[in-house]
Structures are given as C-alpha cells and as structure tokens.
Structure 1
Amino acid sequence: MNSENFVSSLREFLNHSPTPFHAVRSMQARLDEAGFEALDERQVWQLEPNQGYYVIRNGSSIVAFRTGAGSAVDKGVRMVGAHTDSPCLKLKPQPDIHRHGAYQWGAEVYGGALLNPWFDRDLSLAGRVVYLDNNDITGKALIDFRRPVATVPSLAIHLDREANNARSINAQKDLPAVVLLPGEGEKKSVKAVLLAELERVNPELAAKDVLDFEMSLYDSQPAAIVGLEGDLLASARLDNLLSCYVGLRALLDMEQGQAALLVCNDHEEVGSMSAEGAQGPLLTSILRRWLGDGDYHRAMAGSMMVSADNAHAIHPNFADRHDENHGPRINQGPVIKVNNNQRYATNSVTSAFYRRLSGSLGLPCQTFVVRSDMACGSTIGPLTAANLGIKTLDIGVPQWGMHSIRETAGVKDCVNLYLVLKLFFASPELP
C-alpha cells in the first residue's frame, strides 16, 4: 500500500473532524462512497448477505458492519471499537461574558483535558446547532468556523513570577476565551454569532433563530507531518480519531466474506454512560437486530472485539513514568495494553491472537503495563466485553501528549495497525 497516501487521507479526516458530529459525518461520507447502506433504527431492517450497512445515533456515534457471506452466528463477528470524542473546551449554555472591554465565551472542560496547552492558541469553533426556520420548523445543522475566532491569552510572566514553578489552572476563572473587543456599549451573543454563521454558510436553511447548540472550541492548526525524516504525525484529537479512521479504512479495504463490524462511540472520555456511549445499548441493540435474539448469544461466544485506543509512548524526558520493562516507543509497533485489574480487557488468548496476526505480516507490536504505583486509565474495551460477553483485546498506537490540544504519534504505527486490523477483519478463524 502507499503509506504516504494513507497518512495524507488520515490528516484530511482529522482536519475535517473537529467534533464527534463532524467525525461521524466524515465517516458516513466514506461509507456512502463505498456502497454501504444507512439504516434507520425506527424502521424494519431487511439485511442481505455480504452487504455493508451503518447506523448513526445522535449524530456522534456510528456502527458500520458487513454481514458476510456465511453465517455470522457460526463464524462469529470480527469487531473493532474506538471513540469519537476527545477532551476539549465546550461552550456553556449561556457563555456570553462582557467585561473590561472584552467579549468572551465561558467554557466547560470536557473530559480529562491537559489544560496548559490551550493557552495562546488560535482557536476555532464547531459543533451542532438546533434552529428554527422561517416556517417555524425545527432543524439541525453542523457548523465549523474553520478559522481562528477565539484565544485564551496567558497572563504575562511579569504579573505571575511563579508561573513556571507552581502555576495551577482554575478552569472557571482562567479559561474563558476572548472572542472580540466590541465597541463601547456593544453587546454580542453567541446565538447571534451562530445564526449569522448559519446564514452565511447555509442560507438555504432559512434559519431565523438558534434554539440551542453543542459547540466546542478547537485548535485551528491543521494536522502535520513533523520531524527531520517526516516520521511523526502531530494533530489535535489523535486520541481517538486516529483509531476511528484506521478502523474504518480496515473495514472498507478488507477482503470480504467474514462478518465484520466497526463501532465508534461518543462520550468515552467522560465514562461512556449515555444512549450512544459504550455503556449504553447501541451496539447490543444493533447486533441483536442483525443476528436475531435467538442466535445472538451463540454469535457472541464465537466473536472477538479489538478495542483500539491510543497508548502512552515512553517520553524521553520522563522515562521514569513508565515501568522499566514496558516503555513502548513510537514507530516500534502498536501497543497491547494489559491490566490485571481489568482496566483493559486483554487476556493471554486475545493478545496471542494479535501477535500471531501481526507476526504473519512481519510487523512488530509492543506491550504496555502501567507502573504499579500509578493509577491506570481505561477504554471502551472492558465496557464492551462486559456488555457483550465477548473476548476482547485492548490495543493502540503509542503517542505523546495524550489529552493535550495537540498530540504526536508515529506514521509507521498508524499504517501498521491498519494492516493488522484489515487482516483481523478477514480472518477465517477467531480464538
């Protein structure tokens, strides 16, 4: 395969997916182009063998699957899971702040964001707007300003001499973003700003009022290839849009015949407890409708899930934050994530199966275990394993700067994971 084209397409996907809503829309466009059929959960489904289908819930989660040529009940379903959300700053319902000659937006921290890198960035705004049109009909639309419209300025070192030694961030006081320096007595509102942008970009909608919104600030700097040898990928939202894209490409490019599925859930960064999150009924509901209630449990007993979520690469400046035998390196292969306390769902059977697939392609993989004196994060892997009763592997591309506004991963690792997942989807046997 052409690695350069693969990574170029990945960068395009990242640049056009500033929110889960936009990420799902980007994936939907690729599925439509590949001939997948959209399914409506409110309608009766008539599924055909060896066909591709997808279901979208809330506009922010998506499940795409191939029915396969044979019996999914007898042969099992090969599944890959990822998540569409990333830590960020989301506008509050009433974000407008006017003080000291500045118009600002108040924002709530979503997920476990690394906050320091949000200062002094060229921030744009994107998300979903619910509007009322000239016929008093309610509609929904996605908005992406695609240009810098805000910034969170740092306080000068002269006014905070201890900033480099002991500065903490108060999310309420320190993070409102500056949007405009309005004229004396001029008042702005975010709803007016959104309505104006909606009219500019989509005048055919005839929107007359913004009823509500879910908007996120994001770094307007596009994804880039960095490093002297061009071996690193730097971008916002690599955790976990990278896995969404890799899983989607693997599903689209797989050798057809086996039953295969990709699920990309929203709300992983805040616990997955929602109608479209991994703790919700989305995936179970779709599988039951596809396989039939009577055969669902038989099918799950012979199926396997690969939960793909990025891993912590060893940081050359902070090597002591890793277990001495488990410091994954960037571009040395995807990382099998292990935790005996079930924060990851990997076991020896699923790990060995991945190693066999990877080895058959001559590709490397690595292992991560958190230090015994540090808390371990988690993924949708254990949640999905518990909900479905399915064998599960947790794996991910190693990266630096996880949950920062800009993260870094290895180009080779992205391609490596894609090749193994494509083989996994087509594998005639599962463990």
Structure 2
Amino acid sequence: MPFSADAHTHARDLLDFIDASPSPWHAVATCARRLEAAGFQRLDEVDRWSLQAGGKYYVVRGGASIIAFVSGGQPLAEAGFRMVGAHTDSPGLRIKPKPAEHAQGMIRLGVEVYGGPILATFADRDLALAGRVLVKGESEARLVHFPDPMLRLPNLAIHMNRDVNEAGLKFNKQTELPLLLGVADAREADRRFRDPIARQLGVAPEALQTWELVAYDTQKGVLWGVDREFIADSQLDNLASCHAALSALLAVDQPDHTAIVAFFDHEEVGSESAAGAAGSFVSDVLARLSASQQLDAEDSQRMRARSFFISADMAHGWHPNFPSAYEPCHKALVNGGPVIKSNANQRYSTDAQSAARFMRYCEQAGVPCQQYAHRTDLGCGSTIGPIVAAQLGVASVDVGAPMWAMHSIRESAGVQDHLWMTQALSCALGA
C-alpha cells in the first residue's frame, strides 16, 4: 500500500537524525542543535535557574543524556507535567582505553561488548569510530566522527568453519571480536590508532588523553520495500523514539501543563549511572522546576499526582518467518500503529488505566494502536519505564513502534508507524 508524503518526509528526517548521531554523545548534540534552532535555551546544572512560564529550556548531563521542557502556562501543582522518556544508547562495540594490539604486522583494536547486540551482524560491515575524546589541558570533551570505513570484523571463511550455517555464527568476545584497523609494526600500533583522531581534532597524537568511542556502521539509513514502506538503519532502538518525542515536543505550543522529554544514556546496561534513568537526573530537574514555582512538599506531591509519563522504546514487530516466537493474539504488525507493551511482572510500567489513557491519545491523533505481551516461556526485556515510574511515583505506560531485528547493527521498522508514533506523542505532550 502507498504511504503519504508526510510519512516519507518524516521517515527521511529520522534517517538524517540517526546518521548525524553515530554515538549517544552525538545524539544529544543533534537534539541540542534542533532545540536551539527552535528557540530553546540551554541551562547548566552548576548555575541558578530562572524559569519563565511558557519558556523553552534544555539541560545536558554526562554528554549523553538530555532533558528538554516547555514550561506550562498553569502552575505545576494544578496542571502537573507530561513527560516522554527514551534512551540515547544502543548495543554495540566500545573501544577499550588502550585498544591498539599488534598481531603479525596488523593492528587490531580491542573492544568491549556494550549491552546485548547481535554480534554476528557486526561481521563484514563497514565500520568506523565515533564518540568523544578528552584532550590534555581541556575540560570539555570533543566529538569525533569518521564518515568513511576504517575498521572491519572479517568473517572466517566457510572452508574453516564448515558448520556455520547449522550452528550459527559465533564470536569469542575476547579473542575473535577485535577489529582490524591497518598494517604496521609493533612500535607503530598505538600511533596508527591515535593519528587519525588527532588529525581530525587538530592536535598532536600525544595530546589525546582519554576517550569513549563506539564502532558504528557507516552505511546510511534507507527506505526500502516495494512502496518504500520500511526503514533500515542502525540505532532505531532507540533513536527512533528520541526523534519521535523530540519532534512532538517541538510541535508543542503554549501548553497548560509542562511538557518534558527526557533521553537517558546507559539504558542498555541497566540505567544505573548518574546520567541514567535510575540516577537522579530527572528528579533533580523536577525539583528545580518545583523550586522555580516555590512549591512546598505538599504541592510537589500534587504535581506528581496530576502528571503522566510515557516510556517510549521500540517494540517487537511480528516476523512472518518466525511466528512461533510470538504470543498468540499479541502480534504487533509493522506499519500497524504504535504498540502498548504490557507485562504482569512489571518489566513494563503499563497498567490498565495508563494503557487506556494512551489509547485515548491515539484516538485523538487519529492513529491505530496495538497491544503486545511477550511469550510466557521467553524472558521479557525491560525499559526505563518501571525505573522512572518507581522513582517519581507517576502514572506510566510503556509504548513503542514495532520493529524487526532489534539489537542488530541494521534494524528495520515501518515508515507509517514512525509518523503515527510522533502524532500520538504530540497529543500526549500537547493535550
């Protein structure tokens, strides 16, 4: 079926957003640029804040987490807030602090596995480095992003791995995952790693002090399918949700309640960090919002009781090649609409009331919605939803756009779903 020009335009903007954001630090920088272009003012946690009704603000913590908000026209105690949360990080390979290793005239870079990627999908891909680097004598990290391939994880030939198609492609995480960088003798290994980074930053190689770098896929995102109805890119989990929520916030105009989006780092590894959803970031921002309106403890509780939180993370789309992987009657179809995710053991924060509330937002937006529950005999993943809901004591729902190949280096989702999710979140933040 053909899709609207609006859906394709919005999907292409998502691809641009992801391609500009090969690391969580770049994702926050991309968000910040879009917010500032829309008139949002950057706040710093070390400064005193002076917030105005109707003001637009954002604050960054740790370089890879960001909270943006539009102050509502009504007092927080009377109107509360509406918040959408997502995460900026994705599973993958992170470069070690001293990565360069010499092996028979070749240089390999040692990596750590971050989160739970499908490791086999990293083989034979055009990889490069992106992330942040600290230069000696400077307090602020600098971003680096190499657009051209510079790393590779070549497969072993089938002649030496005859049962790969039956047993599956597997890598020993310590010995078989290091990435090939180039050719050099042992004395040049570290220098060959540092040189391109130093050139991009315009400093001497020995000035590079520390770094946090990811190995990312340089292939740009595309629309595919006979009617270009699908999206393929890296990091759809969960930059697609960040893009949808950010687009929704940018569309908010003079809300009665305060509209907030909060994008956290470290969700893929448990969220336990100063900048993660289990840290104090969102509570600290809400405390300062409350202080700006001189709310006492009683009014702060009233504010939370009137508020609502949407945890937006991607959902498992039904795969026609693997129907037995899904719970009967809970097949979330790609291009079938936003998905409400439920789990009786609170791996998702949804309850009946919050699900019904999101259904109303979808109805107001004129978009369909679906419901998802995991197979009972399979372990269910989780999100920031239960973490933030428990921390704030705020009604919460877990939702997401359906997708395929979650945690692959190359994921797929639906063009129409992304527009529908944005429209539903727009109703939630602006309603």
Q: Normalising TM by the smaller chain, what interval? A: over 0.9
Conservation of the 8 A alpha-carbon contact between 1:195 and 1:210:
no
> Structure 1 185/361 Cα, relative in aligned 2: closer, same or farther at 3 Å?
closer
The answer on 1:30 being equivalent to 2:28 is no
Alignment correspondent of 2:382: 378
CA drift at 1:5: 2.3
Q: How does 1:293-372 map to 2 (within 5 A)?
A: 294=296, 295-372=299-376
Give distance in 2, aligned partners of 1:271 and 1:138: 28
User: How far is the alpha carbon of 1:94 from its aligned partner?
Assistant: 1.3
Partners in 1 of 2:305 and 2:142 — Cα distance? 41
- Which ranges of structure 2 fall in alignment gaps of 5 or more residues? none
Are residue 231 (structure 1) and residue 236 (structure 2) matched? no
SS in 1 for 2:89: coil
The alignment partner of 1:211 has SS state of strand
Report what 2:178 is aligned to. 176
Alignment correspondent of 1:197: 197
What letter is aligned with 1:80?
V
- Which AA in structure 1 matches 2:263? C
Which amino acid letter does the alignment assign opposite residue 272 of structure 1? S
Find the residue that maps to 2:58 and give its secondary structure: strand
1:414 — aligned with what?
Answer: 418
Checking the alignment, whether the CA contact within 8 Å between 2:236 and 2:412 is kept in structure 1 is yes
Deviation of the 1:67 alpha carbon = 0.6
2:395 match: 391
Shift of 1:194: 3.8
- Residue in 1 aligned with 2:250? 252
Tell me if structure 2 keeps the 8 A contact 1:345–1:393.
yes
Partner of 1:128: 132
| Residues 243-267 of structure 1: CA deviation (Å, up to 9, x unaligned) | 0011001000123223100000000
1:276 aligns to what SS in structure 2? coil
Structure 2 counterpart of 1:353, one-letter code: R
Instruction: Provide Cα deviations, 1:184-217, integer angstroms capped at 9, x if missing partner.
Output: 5652216x63454343x343x6785111100100
The amino acid that maps onto 1:238 is L
Give 1:353 deviation, angstroms.
1.0
Q: Partner of 2:208 in structure 1?
A: 210
> For 2:389, what is the secondary structure of its paired residue?
helix
Contact 2:144 2:201 survives alignment (8 Å): no
1:281 equivalent to 2:280? Answer: yes
Cα separation, 1, equivalents of 2:57 and 2:138: 30
1:287–1:296 contact (8 Å) kept in structure 2? no
SS in structure 1 at match of 2:189: coil
- Aligned to 2:181, what secondary structure does the other structure show? strand
Superposed CA RMSD in Å reads: 1.5
What is the aligned partner in structure 2 of residue 10 from structure 1? 14
Q: CA deviation at 1:138?
A: 4.5
2:300 and 2:118 map into 1 onto residues whose CA distance is 41
TM-score (norm 2): 0.94
Distance 1:185 1:194 in 2: 14
| AA partner of residue 244 (structure 1) | C
Instruction: Check the 8 A contact 1:122/1:220 in 2, yes or no.
Output: yes
Partners of 2:402 and 2:413 within 8 A in 1: yes
Q: How many residues align structurally?
A: 420
Deviates more, 1:169-178 or 1:243-252: 169-178
2:328 is paired with a residue whose SS is coil
> For the Cα contact (< 8 Å) 1:268–1:380, is it kept in 2?
yes
Does the CA contact (< 8 Å) of 2:152 and 2:179 recur in 1? yes
Determine if contact 2:364/2:427 at 8 Å carries over to the other structure: no
Query: Contact 2:242/2:263 (CA < 8 Å) preserved in 1?
Result: yes
Deviations 1:42-95 (A, max 9, x none): 111100000111010011000000111111221110100000000010011111
Residue 62 of structure 1 aligns to a residue in which SS? strand
Q: Is the 8 A contact 1:247 1:421 kept in 2?
A: yes
1:209 partner letter? A
Q: 1:48 to 1:195 in 2, by over 3 A?
A: farther
CA contact (8 A) 1:338 1:369 kept: yes
Which residue identity is paired with 1:157? I
What residue in structure 2 maps to residue 261 of structure 1?
Answer: 260
SS at match of 1:2: helix
Name structure 1 gaps, 5 residues minimum.
Answer: none
SS in 2 for 1:214: strand
- Residue in 2 aligned with 1:187? 188
Could you tell me which residue of structure 2 aligns to residue 64 of structure 1? 68
Q: Alpha-carbon deviation of 1:154?
A: 0.4
Q: Which residue identity lines up with residue 121 of structure 2 in the other structure?
A: P
SS of the aligned residue for 1:174 comes to: coil
Give the match for residue 140 of structure 1. 141
Matched, 1:149 2:150: yes
After the TM superposition, which residues 62-141 of structure 1 pair with which residues of structure 2 at under 5 Å, given as runs? 62-132=66-136, 136-141=137-142
The 3 A distance-change label for structure 1 pair 139 and 420 is closer
Conservation of the 8 A alpha-carbon contact between 1:118 and 1:152: yes
Identity %: 40
Q: Describe the superposition over 1:16-48 as per-residue Cα deviations: whole angstroms up to 9, x where unpaired.
A: 101100000000000111111111111111000
Shift of the 195–41 alpha-carbon distance from structure 1 to 2, 3 Å rule, reads farther
- Mapped partners of 2:264, 2:140: distance in 1: 24
Letter in 1 for 2:149: P
Contact residue 53 and residue 73 of structure 2 kept, 8 A: yes
